[in-house]
Amino acid sequence: MSKCILITGATGFVGSHILEAFMQDDSLNIIVACRNKKNLIQGFKGEIRAGDLRDNNYVKEVVKNIDVVCHAGAWTSLWNHKKQSNDNYLEPTLNLIKASKASGVKQFIFPSTTSATSFDLSSDPLNKGIPRKFWPHLCNVIAIENELRKTASSDFSAVVLRLGIFTGKRYGVGVLPILLPRLKTHLVPWVAGGKTNIPLIDGEDIGRAFLQSIKAKDLNNYEAFNIVGVEQPSVREMITFIHEKFNYPKPHFSVPFEVAYPFAWLMEKINPIVPWEPLITRSIIHLIEKTNVNNDKALDKLNYKPQIHWKDSVLKQIKEIHKHQKKAMSMAVKERGEHEINQ
């Protein structure tokens, strides 16, 4: 008997790639949850349960007769916006976890981030995340991880995938749409010489990781995995590649992290009195901090093997940006559905 799998956020970056990967496996019974079925990728002919995850009644209904929930529905912000993140992301997700367990869902798979913890702890994704008050969305991701730790049992297993920084087609979220317009200002510096590695992950490899998670055997009640790409370039390697391929300016000077964080704090503080978003935020600085992640555990327990090289992924994403993005992307979603990153 095939597993009945619910994919929330099926029109977003993560959700659409999960759906695309799952559609290649005829043994799966896929059900999607979304707000607007017109935004689903072409070719899906399965059941659609349309609705809004902020509606508690909808949440209770959408998980009925489901074996596995792949929760890709999200509201994101790279800084500030604590109330919006709580209302549109944290509370709906906690309600979804509660409803899933009550309805008899057997497995709940949640996408987190490799930036959840510190360098010295990041190699083991089972280590608890470290909340950063300057980034409410990250705090909420960690709170959801902790709720799954507490809730997981033999009847309701949880898999947390700590994903790297998104790249690839259907580029609706990620650092690149934020970074590229700022490079054009010639004001963005290297941080620590651009020597730290950046754990990029293509959307196709994300979908592959979710597919391997539902196929894996002998997982514990609560499991967590780092999921990154084939290679992890340095920030300098990535920006130099973008410069050579698309002629974006490279930074002209460098600052240490000890200077970058206070400067980003200042940019956030003056935001209310200027008509543009901050040039840089502490969350962006945090994203380019050194990490110590790899796919070893995911290879061992999930048989996850990334296939998309970061250069190919970055090329795909920037070509889409040039085709579709008419202005700099906002660091926060102002409306549910904007940039198609929610449901």
Going from N- to C-terminal start, the domains of the chain cover 4-173+199-229+291-308+333-340
Give whole-number Cα distances, 5 to 8, 128, 214, in Å.
10, 27, 9
List, in order, residues 6 or more apart from 288 with CB less than 8 Å away. Answer: 191, 196, 198, 235
Q: What residues contact residue 268 under an 8 Å CB cut-off, 6+ apart? A: 79, 80, 134, 278, 281, 282
Give percent above pLDDT 70 in the chain.
Answer: 94
pLDDT at 303 over 90: yes
Pick from 48, 19, 60: which is nearest to 214 by CA? 19
The answer on pLDDT for 338 being more than 60 is no
Residue with tokens 């054009």: 184
The per-residue pLDDT for 277 is 84
Overall pTM surpassing 0.75 (yes/no): yes
Q: What is the CATH number of domain 4-173+199-229+291-308+333-340?
A: 3.40.50.720
Long-range contacts of 268-273 (CB under 8 A, 24+ apart): 268/79, 268/80, 268/134, 271/80
Look at residue 97 and tell me whether its pLDDT is greater than 50: yes
Burial of 302 (0-12, 13-18, 19+ CB in 10 A): buried
Q: Which parts of 243-308 are beta strand (E)?
A: 254-255
pLDDT tens-place string over residues 113-163: 999 999 999 999 999 999 999 999 999 999 999 999 999 999 999 999 999
236-246: average pLDDT? 97
- Non-local CB neighbours of 65 within 8 Å, separated by 6+ positions: 4
Rounded average pLDDT over 91-113: 98
Question: pLDDT at position 271, please?
Answer: 87
